[in-house]
Structure 1
Amino acid sequence: MDEQIMRGRVYGADHDDPDPGPKPGHAYVELVGGPLDGLFLDVTGWSRQEREEGAALTTEIGQYGPGGRALYGPRPDDPGRFDWQGDTP
């Protein structure tokens, strides 16, 4: 696994987790921009269609506060990154 990924925090990891980084044998994409910038999203087991659709990720630090979601979609020229597309309630 890439050295940079080994140091990143995975979306959804507990704040108290002593090892919040990626786990061996899992597939990840990097979240770029928006409130979750720099986190990694575990896409292990996602189908090609699911990866093409992107994700609406719950976050308390987006435009809509607690319960809001940050929308991330795949970068066309880099399947290892999902770009922020905005927030939704």
Structure 2
Amino acid sequence: MNDHRRVYGTDRGEDPRPQPGRTYTELCGGPLDGQLLDTTGWTDDALAEGAALLTEAGAYGPGGRALYGPAPGDPGCWDWTGDIP
């Protein structure tokens, strides 16, 4: 796979690039813009709901979460909708 974007949540020492055989959703806007979220195995309900993702780069600093959900008309992208503590 020739993709240089970083996968959200990869730890130091792990390969941060997308891996073959996995399903990814791009995070669009906000503090995690451009990163990929591994959604392999997620149910349709979970994909429709979106996620609150931990980030140190959001409005609430360490421990805060960035909210992302499906972008209308673009199933491969989740839009940022704000930050929560």
**Both proteins in one fold, TM over 0.5:** yes
Aligned residue for 1:10?
7
Task: Give the aligned length.
Answer: 85
Which of 25, 31, 36 in structure 2 is aligned with 1:35? Answer: 31
Q: 3-state DSSP class of the match of 1:82?
A: strand
Aligned residue for 1:25?
21
Give how far 1:15 is off.
Answer: 3.8
Give how far 1:76 is off.
Answer: 1.7
Distance (Å, rounded) in 2 between the aligned partners of 1:76 and 1:45: 22
Which of 53, 65, 68 in structure 1 is aligned with 2:61? Answer: 65
Give how far 1:7 is off.
Answer: 1.1
Give how far 1:60 is off.
Answer: 0.7
Unaligned runs of 5+ residues in structure 2 are none
The percent of aligned pairs where both chains have the same amino acid is 62
RMSD across aligned C-alpha pairs, in angstroms?
1.1
Pick the structure with more helix per residue: 1
Q: Does structure 1 residue 51 correspond to structure 2 residue 47? A: yes
Distance (Å, rounded) in 2 between the aligned partners of 1:73 and 1:43: 12
